[in-house]
Amino acid sequence: MHNDLKSHLSNIIKESITKVSVIHGGDISEAFKIETPDNCYFLKLNKALNALKMFQAETYGLQLIGKTNTIKTPEVLACDSFQNSAFLLMEFIESKAASTEDLENLGKQLAHLHHCTSTYFGLDQNNFIGSLPQSNKTNISWVKFYTTERLLVQLELAKQKGLLSNNEFPTAQKIEEALEPLFADVKPALLHGDLWSGNYLISSDGTPYLIDPAVYYGHNEVDIAMTKLFGGFGNSFYDAYHANLKKDEHTSYRIDIYQLYYLLVHLNLFGSSYYGSVVSILKKYF
Ligand code: ADP
């Protein structure tokens, strides 16, 4: 790390930095552990044009979840640009592998987060899903929000990129007709929005933390669908979650439909290896 940045960060935290180590695992930004004699911090750096916007949206999401006092998020200390890079500085969470009990707590606390509600679906600002923009234009109808703000945006992008053809592309009307009976009685819940297994941490004392959110108010099962996309979080997580927020006879269909959004995002970000899964859900429901 450049010495200028190091002294800039040192001024922000008002401590001298004794060690900087690279952290691997992120796929968007460079990440570092910053050590001082008394504390540890986590830093993300990114030179992309929209990086500051991404970090601002991440900060907003972390703080929105944190404020609910249902599940912890790392405290953000600074979100700014320095020279030609955007940076996000936050509390470092010393983490460990999740035990059955930790996953049970995560499930319970996620359910508490999902009880935080709103009068609309969406959010008062747009954010990002991975590195793609995520529009959150508010709507009082979940069917309309999920069709226009989620599925159609990614379907259009896939078409533009030549990843899906016209005959694989359902109309808004067709999507809404299919979703209407499955989406009855959905209430807005504050979502993490990108809840795969890389986006939670269990601290060394067993406290669950959510990181890297793509928050908005949506159906709580959206987060559950994402947890199940690449393997699942284990029975203790789901038992604790569903003891609080129940499934119904349409849940498994909705999980498919909510996974479709994330699969489309993966198709648009990472290419055609996600094509088969996308098309099979499109054919099944639309
Ligand atoms: P990206 O946005 O580039 O995908 P991530 O937010 O996933 O980056 O972070 C990269 C790595 O750093 C991950 O392995 C994650 O577990 C770890 N990490 C993220 N936030 C913190 C934190 N506050 N404290 C400690 N480690 C963290």
The Å distance, Cα 268 to ligand 1 centre, comes to 23
Distance, in Å, from the CA atom of 125 to the CA atom of 24, rounded to the nearest integer, reads 30
96: helix, coil or strand? strand
DSSP 8-class letter at 196: -
Tell me which amino acid residue 196 is: W
Q: What is the pLDDT of residues 129-174, one digit of tens each?
A: 999 999 999 999 999 999 999 999 999 999 999 999 888 889 999 9
The residue whose C-alpha atom lies closest to atom 14 belonging to ligand 1 is 25
Using a 6 Å cutoff on CB, does residue 26 contact ligand 1?
yes
Using only the alpha carbons of the chain, give its radius of gyration.
20
Name the residue among 251, 261, 266 with its Cα closest to residue 282. 261
ipTM for the complex shown: 0.97
Does the beta carbon of 196 sit less than 6 angstroms from any atom of ligand 1? no
Quick check: do 3-91 and 95-285 share a fold? Answer: no
The Cβ-side half-sphere exposure at 14, using a 13 Å CA radius, reads 1
pTM above the 0.90 mark?
yes
Task: Could you please state the CATH topology (level 3) that the domain comprising 95-285 is classified under.
Answer: Aminoglycoside 3'-phosphotransferase; Chain: A, domain 2 (3.90.1200)
Percent of the chain with pLDDT over 70: 100
**What's the CA-to-centroid distance between 41 and ligand 1, angstroms?**
11
pLDDT band at 8, cuts 50/70/90? very high
According to the model, what pLDDT value does residue 40 have? 97
Query: Among 3.40.50.620, 2.60.40.1220, 3.30.200.20, 3.90.245.10, what is the CATH number of 3-91?
Result: 3.30.200.20
Q: Where are the domains of the chain?
A: 3-91, 95-285
Residue 74 near ligand 1, beta carbon < 6 Å: yes
pLDDT at 216: 98
Selected catalytic residue, list 102, 194, 212, 223: 194
With the most atoms of ligand 1 within 8 angstroms of its CB, the residue from 211, 212, 265, 270 to mutate is 211
Protein residue with its CA nearest to atom 1 in ligand 1: 26
Q: Which atom of ligand 1 lies closest to the CA of 25?
A: 14
* Residue owning the nearest CA to atom 20 of ligand 1: 211
pLDDT exceeds 80 at position 127: yes
- Give pLDDT tens digits for 83-109: 999 999 999 999 999 999 999 999 999
Cα(4)–Cα(192) distance, integer angstroms:
34
Is residue 191 within 8 Å of residue 150, measured between CB atoms?
no
Nearest-CA residue for atom 9 of ligand 1: 26
pLDDT digits (tens, 9 = 90+) for 176-197: 999 999 999 899 999 999 999 9
Residue bearing tokens 């793509």? 214
**Residue closest to 150 by CA, chosen among 139, 167, 135, 168:** 135
Known catalytic residue at 194? yes
What's the confidence (pLDDT) of residue 25?
A: 75
Tokens of 136: 């959150």
d(CA 65, CA 116) in angstroms, rounded, equals 9
Ligand 1 atom closest to Cα of residue 46: 3
Question: What is d(CA 225, CA 213) in angstroms, rounded to the nearest whole number?
Answer: 15
Model confidence at 286: pLDDT above 80: yes
Tell me the pLDDT band of 27, cut-offs 50, 70 and 90.
confident
| Burial of residue 11, with CB atoms counted within 10 A of its CB: 0-12 exposed, 13-18 middle, 19 or more buried | exposed
Instruction: Quote the DSSP letter at residue 27.
Output: S
CA distance 152 to 286: 13
Predicted confidence at residue 1, as pLDDT, reads: 79
Cα 26 to ligand 1 centre (Å)? 6
Distance 223 CA to ligand 1 centre (A): 19
Is 90 close to ligand 1, i.e. is its CB under 6 Å away? yes
Amino acid identity at 286 = F
